[in-house]
Amino acid sequence: MNEAYPSGAVVLNAGQTLMSLQNVPSGTPIGSNEHWKAIDQLVPDMIPPGFDNFQPPFFKDLDLPPILEYPPIGPVDEDSEDTDNENKEGQNIPPLSAPDTTPEDPPHPDYVETIEALKKQLEEKDKELDKNKQELLKKSAEIEDISNKNTELKANIMKLDEKIENLDTELIDTKKENQNLANQVSNLRQENQNISFELNTSNENLKEAIRVAETPFINGWVYDAVRGWMFTDAEHFPLVYTHKDQSWNFYELGSSSPRYFYSFATEKWEAWD
């Protein structure tokens, strides 16, 4: 999957042979129907037309090559009884007979073949040399790249060492600050305990004040020079009834000098001295 394949490449995957339909870039999964297809799926199902009428070609024996005959050397007397120049079948034969010995073997210029073989070896060596040169250039480029990366890594290591030193300094400062914060937390806890004690005391005082405030300052009918007769008791307080206004009034607990009352008759707040 991590390799690129050209169009028409054949690969074997999980026992199945597939062919690339086009150039396949690296990272393409084998299940991509756009790039890969099984070999057996590429075989056409159709039968070429005319197959039913197909007939094997017609074969016949070839004629034998003609027999070459040597023409006679000179005129032959038909009436001659000399049969030395005739074979048993009556055909003319050459007047000369073949020698009993054969000539030496022809010169064999094997040096030509040796030179050709050496040339081929030289070409192969030249190709191998070019390949090694290319490989050497590639390795040199890789070495240069690795050297540059090594230099970069050394610079990064120096930066990281400096950062570690700074972090160690920050850690020492943080520990000091943490100790100071721990002392402050201890002081705040003590202060919180003091405040809680004061708060409990204040709550007790507030409860007492609310209890006192909820206690009516009058019980039953009382007469006031300004408001006239007023009525309230523990059951109705903080509601106060004024006979002069024929109205109930709501007293705002805790208010004094003046006290504030809400008149249900006028639907307004009023200040009573």
pLDDT for the residue 108: 61
Q: How far apart are the first and last CA of the chain?
A: 96
Flag residues of the chain having pLDDT under 70: 47-91, 105-111, 209-218
Please say whether the beta carbons of 222 and 233 come within 8 A: no
Q: Which domains does the chain have, with CATH numbers?
A: 1-62 (2.10.10), 220-272 (no CATH)
Q: Are strands 268-272 and 259-263 parallel, antiparallel or unpaired?
A: antiparallel
pLDDT for the residue 1: 80
Tell me the CB-side half-sphere exposure of residue 138, using CA atoms within 13 A: 6
CA distances from 214 to 208, 234, 240, 258 (A): 10, 9, 13, 17
pLDDT for the residue 101: 86
Tell me the whole-structure pTM to 2 decimals: 0.26
pLDDT for the residue 42: 81
Burial class, 216, CB count within 10 angstroms (exposed 0-12 / middle 13-18 / buried 19+): middle
Give the H or E element holding residue 11: strand 10-13
